[in-house]
Structure 1
């Protein structure tokens, strides 16, 4: 399924959770092989793939030593621990928790409100099937979360502190779609300045700032 000479990543590049992983791989400049999987590419129900991830979802990585990891935030932690100890990983548990709490918050609060709520409910749902009551509720929740982020970013350039870290990736990966899908959003100057800084990073441009208009009104992958 891969050349097994380095890191291999399975997943379609348009998938949000895959983009998070690819962004960190780009930041760390990890040599890798990417295999398109999921959506139109298929391949998630093969015995070989299910042996790696019994849930049949992407992203999945396999490292050169045969280590297989699935679940995007677990993959981020693994890559940071193995490849990013000088930049993305803290050996001190207290310091590491500052990144991980924002990662977990993104998974349990921001991403459900935005990606599986607002983005799916509005952008990916055909116009005649949209539930505007639900959309408005998710829009309000996202606005609340953006204000939380805005307050956190008032005294530092990144969620992780003075430089980009793991805390920035899950939440930061949402911003390109959030600000680009055509709905109103609150005045959050610190978040918008953060977004501008992220857009200056080659790995963010390469792996997150990908056109998503092909997903408009499309419920299927």
Structure 2
């Protein structure tokens, strides 16, 4: 049995849980972090000295932390060739786009945009800063827009690990109240992702507990 520690409202936990659903892996998840606490206990810190979520333990194996490392572990051990190719060059293509999404899109969206809109009280928000952050984000979304004009998913005609890392961000991107540039290929891609059971179950869910109000 795979065990996961991490709250459902964490975007990193959502990416992990979506992947677990796509791979049909038996699992148990325990809330940890933020209002749920538990991530500063000796037992948790023995698993992850950073005190962050998610943490995954597969059976009696040593715990794994850092979302990207966890996802690659699961893909290597349990996924089929479409999700995580066995061919080293094809796998590098998937891994390249997964890292691109994590480094360039997640880091340009989560704190600069999402936190400023949702996790900041309206009276303390910085509209100009948000607008500038969206402009930076748009440069990377334009890269995805071009890539998604070539095939149904980020790397090929099949969902892969790269789509987990990129796609899980899109629910919040399209849900929050911001001015969005039109990216037709990304919008079509998002609609396809929204039809997947794992996406609906673990990604397209309420984040109200994160919202800060005046």
Q: Please report the TM-score for the alignment, with normalisation by the length of structure 1.
A: 0.92
Once the two structures are superposed, what CA deviation does each residue of 1:153-203 show, in whole Å capped at 9, x if it has no partner?
001000020110011011101110001101111111100110010011000
Matched, 1:194 2:189: yes
- Mapping of 1:33-112 within 5 angstroms? 33-112=28-107
Q: Which runs of 4+ in 1 moved over 4 A?
A: none
| Secondary structure of the structure 1 residue equivalent to 2:161 | coil
CA contact (8 A) 1:149 1:191 kept: yes
Structure 1's unaligned 5+ residue stretches are 1-5
The aligned residue for residue 164 of structure 1 is 159
The aligned residue for residue 125 of structure 2 is 130
Pairing partner for 2:173 from 154, 178, 189: 178
CA contact (8 A) 1:160 1:166 kept: no
Count residues with an aligned counterpart.
214
| Secondary structure of the structure 1 residue equivalent to 2:29 | strand
Shift of 1:85: 3.4
Q: RMSD in angstroms over aligned alpha carbons?
A: 1.4
The aligned residue for residue 149 of structure 1 is 144
Shift of 1:74: 0.8
The aligned residue for residue 3 of structure 1 is none
| Secondary structure of the structure 1 residue equivalent to 2:164 | helix
| Secondary structure of the structure 1 residue equivalent to 2:3 | strand
Shift of 1:218: 6.0
